[in-house]
């Protein structure tokens, strides 16, 4: 009986050691696999367990040091006990070999693969409880951990690794885009689209979203007073640019809420209209949308005149235009929103040549190139490299285009087909 008792104790101790090996192995994987962003959010919300894990992860070299020291001590002790047991049962010759093979299989399955796999799948369930043990262990074994890390860090510095603290979890724009995509049902589809649109603002300039020059609705001071008043009363826009003769000569921007100040004057004249206008705010056409959004906020503006490098007016950009890039069109009137697009019964579309390419891509789900000309007319002329003498056809990617009408060197009407035909939303 006295001989059996130590044997039973050793078998029990070996079982405990394998369990401890599983603990350290799963702790290593769980700590390194835990979602840092969720963890930081929980810590900022006052979760003490999350704060404890965050503190441990600030120095991964020390954390890994205490885990590996513990794991190696446990495995070496388990190997010694397994060898003693194997010699007892199988003799001095074959016992060590059997112990090595048996313990390798047991530790590999129960002390490494299984716990690490579980920890990789459920890191929160492992890392947070494990921190209760690892934090005090780090204090107990700190001298040994410090010595091991001092040697290890010296070798890392010799290899060119200077930063030994955990890097901040900064994400690039593409990585953040992947995070949004992979969020799945955790973020509603509509919200995902808005977040991705915000990330795209830097890649889009005001030239891409502006109202082009030929579509600007404004007040020309060379018109008679009655014409100007008629435009003011019937305008569908809240703000109107005021210019004289040519849109390049912009004198100001009139907010229609100020129109009541001069409409009731008995001696109304054009000077009174200009007096109520605010000085124009000019925007370089290459300004990225994310920059212009901040500029609108800082300047307390909602509309700006877009100019090119020569100072010539190219169009108008509004705060609403930028917001629509993020949240989509405000209007629900499809006919008004896509007034340049005319669906046909055969699945084709008759499109105005002045239609904006980005608007076409968003409305129809196409992939026409947007890194060059901004309008369909410009895109066709760029591909043809000349003005066609007669109606012509061409293909850009999966989109086929047929010129239907030209006027004054401007393509005014185009018939388009696409391999992946998609109807406008709301039809």
Helix (H, G, I), strand (E, B) or coil at 220: strand
> CA-to-CA distance for 49 and 51, rounded, in angstroms?
5
Indicate whether 421 pLDDT > 80. Answer: no
Identify the band that residue 283 occupies on the pLDDT scale cut at 50, 70 and 90: very high
Q: What is the DSSP letter of 221?
A: T
Whether 298 and 339 share a structural domain: no
Whether 11 and 154 share a structural domain: yes
> CA-to-CA distance for 241 and 232, rounded, in angstroms?
11
First to last CA, the chain: 89
Whether 341 and 413 share a structural domain: yes
Number of structural domains found in the chain: 3
Better-scored residue on pLDDT, 276 or 389:
276
CA dihedral 70, 125, 123, 164 (to 10 degrees): -50
**What is the reported pLDDT for 233?**
86
> CA-to-CA distance for 24 and 30, rounded, in angstroms?
10
**What is the reported pLDDT for 369?**
86
Q: What is the DSSP letter of 422?
A: -
Specify the CATH number for the domain of residue 388. Answer: 3.30.465.10
Domain-located, residue 250: yes
**pLDDT above 90 as % of the chain:** 22
Q: Residue 31: how many CB atoms within 10 A of its CB?
A: 23
The CA-CA-CA angle for residues 13, 19, 21, to 5°, reads 105
Helix (H, G, I), strand (E, B) or coil at 385: coil
Residue 113, CA distances (Å) to 81, 98, 101 in order: 22, 21, 16
**What is the reported pLDDT for 397?**
84
Domain-located, residue 245: yes
Identify the band that residue 427 occupies on the pLDDT scale cut at 50, 70 and 90: very low
Whether 134 and 278 share a structural domain: no
123, 158, 193 - which closes a domain:
158
> CA-to-CA distance for 187 and 195, rounded, in angstroms?
10
Whether 125 and 210 share a structural domain: no
Domain-located, residue 217: yes
pLDDT, tens only, 219-243: 999 998 888 888 888 888 889 999 9
**How would you classify the pairing of strands 246-255 and 239-244?**
antiparallel
Domain-located, residue 365: yes
The CA-CA-CA angle for residues 46, 47, 50, to 5°, reads 125
320, 353, 385 - which closes a domain:
320
104, 124, 158 - which closes a domain:
158
**What is the reported pLDDT for 25?**
92
Q: Say if pTM beats, i.e. exceeds, 0.85.
A: no
Which structure tokens are listed for 317?
């950009």
Whether 339 and 410 share a structural domain: yes
Whether 27 and 147 share a structural domain: yes
**What is the reported pLDDT for 338?**
61
Q: Are 366 and 399 in contact (CB under 8 A)?
A: yes
Q: Are 134 and 60 in contact (CB under 8 A)?
A: no
> CA-to-CA distance for 238 and 253, rounded, in angstroms?
10
**What is the reported pLDDT for 331?**
54
Domain-located, residue 172: no
Whether 283 and 339 share a structural domain: no
Whether 351 and 247 share a structural domain: no
> CA-to-CA distance for 287 and 386, rounded, in angstroms?
30
Better-scored residue on pLDDT, 214 or 51:
51
**What is the reported pLDDT for 10?**
84
> CA-to-CA distance for 322 and 330, rounded, in angstroms?
11
Residue with tokens 């008043």: 229
> CA-to-CA distance for 417 and 344, rounded, in angstroms?
10
- What mean pLDDT comes out for the span 300-325? 90
**What is the reported pLDDT for 162?**
66
Separation of CA 27 from chain center: 32
Domain-located, residue 346: yes
Whether 237 and 135 share a structural domain: no
CA-based diameter of the chain, in Å? 121
Helix 319-327 vs helix 189-200: crossing angle, to nearest 10: 130
Identify the band that residue 334 occupies on the pLDDT scale cut at 50, 70 and 90: very low
**What is the reported pLDDT for 337?**
44
Whether 118 and 38 share a structural domain: yes
Domain-located, residue 191: no
> CA-to-CA distance for 402 and 421, rounded, in angstroms?
16
pLDDT, tens only, 86-107: 888 888 878 888 888 988 899 8
Whether 143 and 19 share a structural domain: yes
Domain of 126 in residue numbering reads as 4-158
Domain-located, residue 44: yes
Which structure tokens are listed for 395?
């293909």
> CA-to-CA distance for 303 and 315, rounded, in angstroms?
11
């Amino acid at each position: 009986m006295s001989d059996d008792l130590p044997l039973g104790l050793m078998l029990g101790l070996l079982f405990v050691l394998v369990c401890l090996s599983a603990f350290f192995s799963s702790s290593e994987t769980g700590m390194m696999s835990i979602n840092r962003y969720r963890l930081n959010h929980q810590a900022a919300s006052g979760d003490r367990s999350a704060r404890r894990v965050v503190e441990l992860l600030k120095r991964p070299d020390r954390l890994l040091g205490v885990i590996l020291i513990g794991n190696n001590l446990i495995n070496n002790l388990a190997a010694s006990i397994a060898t003693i047991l194997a010699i007892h049962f199988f003799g001095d010759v074959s016992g060590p070999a059997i112990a090595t093979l048996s313990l390798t299989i047991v530790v590999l399955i129960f002390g490494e693969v299984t716990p690490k796999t579980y920890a990789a799948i459920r890191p929160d369930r492992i890392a947070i409880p494990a921190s209760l043990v690892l934090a005090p262990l780090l204090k107990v074994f700190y001298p040994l951990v410090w010595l091991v890390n001092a040697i290890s860090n010296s070798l890392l510095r010799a290899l060119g690794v200077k930063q030994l603290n955990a890097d901040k979890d900064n994400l690039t724009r593409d990585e953040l885009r992947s995070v949004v995509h992979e969020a799945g049902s955790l973020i509603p589809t509509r919200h995902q689209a808005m977040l991705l649109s915000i990330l795209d603002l830097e890649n889009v300039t005001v030239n891409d979203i502006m109202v082009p020059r030929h579509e600007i609705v404004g007040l020309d001071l060379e018109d008679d007073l009655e014409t100007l008043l008629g435009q003011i009363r019937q305008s569908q826009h809240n703000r109107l640019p005021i210019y004289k003769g040519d849109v390049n000569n912009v004198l100001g921007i009139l907010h229609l809420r100020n129109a009541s100040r001069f409409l009731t004057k008995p001696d109304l004249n054009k000077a009174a209209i200009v007096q109520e206008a605010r000085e124009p705010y000019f925007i370089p056409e290459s300004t990225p949308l994310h920059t212009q959004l901040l500029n609108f906020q800082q300047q307390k503006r909602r509309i700006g005149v877009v100019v090119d490098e020569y100072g010539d007016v190219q169009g108008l950009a509004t705060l609403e235009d930028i917001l629509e890039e993020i949240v989509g069109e405000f209007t629900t009137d499809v006919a008004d929103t896509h007034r340049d697009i005319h669906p046909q019964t055969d699945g084709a579309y008759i499109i105005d040549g002045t239609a904006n390419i980005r608007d076409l891509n968003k409305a129809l789900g196409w992939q026409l190139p947007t890194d060059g000309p901004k309008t369909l007319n410009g895109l066709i002329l760029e591909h043809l490299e000349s003005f066609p003498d007669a109606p012509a056809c061409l293909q850009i990617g999966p989109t086929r285009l047929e010129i239907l009408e030209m006027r004054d060197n401007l393509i005014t009407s185009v018939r388009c087909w696409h391999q992946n035909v998609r109807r406008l939303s709301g039809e």
